[in-house]
Structure 1
């Protein structure tokens, strides 16, 4: 007899089947692992070859450079301004009445004294005639009064008349003389009113858009004019600059006329060249700006009244100074600096002291001695002593500032 308890036949058969299935699973799993290892060994990429020396070499940084140059640099200041005509007049009526005729064409060039419009003058002519008739009447009365006065004086000398009659006649003569003077003033007033019915050009210039048509009743109190007359030659440009520029502008004006160039809004086209006429007598404290006015001959009508322009003022010319492109100037924790490229094509930072800027150029006060090569593009890739490859080289040339 066996020492183990006997089990049922069916349970023994089930245990054997489970063990056989387990062994088959293990065999299949082992085979799969072996096949996977063989495939990885066959097709896996080879490891990269080891570089000799044990460290990687940094590739040269591509940069653009410019050569430091000594040259004359014009220093400009630019402000936004508006064009003003040298003479602007709103053509209005100085008397009430019906606008009878308009004798100008919109946009027409007119001369001083040209008739522009006429107002119905009949009432004003009647008032002038009435004043003139009143004067003639008083002149006739004065003639009779003076004769009466002469007779009264003759009778008084013969003791036939009294002094009282003489005084009364003298008073009457004086009153008539005063009336005649009033009549003359009334005539002058009526004549002036009549003259106002003919509207003439007060100056040479160009007429604008007609705002009132013939047949309309116009009054002195009307807010709108009949038209506007402007004289664009010469033209003025009124512009503003920061108040800190005031000493430089005044110093420049002390040495002679200060040139001002007017550009269009895009700073791409020159509209005219003039000179500063005046500096305003007060600084705008709200904006810390100073207002200036420049005059332009404007012979070609390039400056149009009301137009926005950029006024560029030539303050001074820096003679024989070191310049570099403004893009070469960098700002760091210790201030301004630039990257220079040595003879060995390595990059080195150099501290700078700079002067004014003109367009794309910056004047170098100290830090460079000339003929060095400075990096104008690609600075973010540089490190001290790192090698560079020059992709573009230029020379810092003085160009028009904006």
Structure 2
């Protein structure tokens, strides 16, 4: 260890090294940015002269940008049907499960599966021989009791003669009168047995209780049938006419009830599952007597003529119920109706090719139009396409030729005005002023 080192030299800080010069690449980048700023300043000075802006710039500043391309359509007067849409199920007016009313063996089936039958047509035959034998027995008993009755009446006549001669006791005559009454009652019982046997024989021949379409056979010939059987022989569904059961909200009950009370027939159209094809047209026959508490709806039944069988039992259909029709209403296309924070509004195209925001009160609507209750009159033109970037007072260019901007008359030479020709060529309407350079093409609304 060196003992001759000066302490001042040990504690002294080390000298600071001078900063290294900037690398050549960074100096080149600074030079490039400087050149770009100088060129930008020269271009701004060259193409942005002092003074008032050009006429095109003035018009764009006033309208907030270039004119917007839109399509318009007029509000019209027309009739608006007030309809209710619902989902319904096709329900036969009568569905009968044909069962036997007596016990016996099924001897014959007189129908084909899926056949259309009329009321009273033969369907099935039960073995009637036991009941025919019971009928013969009841008839024989009737003959026997009738003979006893005749004999009792003859004896009573003799007893009454002897009583007048005071040759027989009064009690014997009264006993004979009771015997005659008993024989008369036996004859009545025998007649009832005969009627029962005849009815059973009639039950052996089963006929269709209603007109309709039979389903699949539920039992084959040869089986022993009893009235307690639950399956039955076949099911008949009455399909012409046929009905549709559907439900709607309880709020619709007052207008429907009022219309039906006035004697009007409410038309109902049944559509297929895709809601594109009309299957049948009918009328409302009645509605239920109570509202379903769980759903807040009530049921209606509509009846349809169904000669071709297009409506099938238990088929789901879409229902369109015509409740009323608004005549002479102001109609606007659905695409023109916009919804804002304060409600519905439309953009009205004015004669100076600008649009104005108009608040409207809407009513019923269909697939194309909406009823305007207030805020718009028939004949005014509204924007139906290109409303995304519009605002009150914005300039527009109408492309479909149906608006105010496209309805200017032709000039003296018979040609369309210059701004109309520019629209047809896809350009914007030129601005008036010393500059003849047309303004840039408007940006199409997506």
Query: What band does the TM-score fall into relative to the shorter chain?
Result: 0.7 to 0.9
Comparing 71-80 with 56-65, greater Cα deviation is found at 56-65
Unaligned runs of 5+ in 2: 6-16, 404-446
Which structure would you say has the larger RCO, counting Cα contacts within 8 Å and 6 or more residues apart? 1
Tell me whether 1:197 sits opposite 2:212 in the alignment.
no
TM-score by length of 1: 0.82
Name whichever structure is richer in strand by fraction: 1
User: Aligned residue pairs: how many?
Assistant: 375
The RMSD of aligned alpha carbons is 3.2
Which residue does 1:241 correspond to in 2? 248
Is residue 191 of structure 2 the alignment partner of residue 181 of structure 1? no
Between the aligned partners of 2:377 and 2:144, the Cα distance in structure 1 is: 99
* 2:285 maps to which of 277, 280, 300: 277
Alignment partner for residue 328 of structure 1, among 327, 333, 336? 336
Partner of 2:10: none
Preserved CA contact (<8 Å) 2:73 2:382: yes
Look up the match of 1:311.
319
Is the Cα contact below 8 Å between 1:64 and 1:376 reproduced in 2? yes
2:427 alignment partner in structure 1 = none
Sort the Cα spacing of 1:392 and 1:246 in 2 relative to 1 into closer, same or farther, 3 A. Answer: farther
SS across alignment from 2:288 = strand
Cα distance between partner residues in 2 of 1:378 and 1:248: 38
* 2:131 counterpart (113, 120, 124): 124
What is the TM-score of this pair, normalised by structure 2? 0.74
Partner of 2:79: 72
SS of the equivalent of 2:311 reads coil
1:88 aligns with 2:90: no
Look up the match of 1:162. Answer: 169
Superposed CA offset, 1:18-63 (max 9, x none): xxxx99x968x7445556667888999x759657459986344444
1:102 is matched with 109
After TM superposition, the structure 1 = structure 2 runs for residues 211-290 of structure 1, keeping only pairs within 5 Å, are 211-253=218-260, 254=262, 256-290=264-298
Q: Unmatched 5+ residue regions in structure 1?
A: 6-21, 396-402
* Other-structure match for 1:354: 362
1:343 aligns with 2:351: yes
CA contact 1:69–1:324 (8 Å) conserved in 2: yes
Structure-2 residue corresponding to 1:19:
none
Contact between 1:324 and 1:363, CA under 8 Å: does it hold in 2?
yes
Distance 1:132 1:94 in 2: 23
For residues 346 and 32 of structure 2, the distance between their equivalents in structure 1, rounded to whole angstroms, comes to: 58
Distance (Å, rounded) in 2 between the aligned partners of 1:245 and 1:175: 69
1:135 and 1:333, CA in 2 relative to 1: closer, same or farther beyond 3 A? same
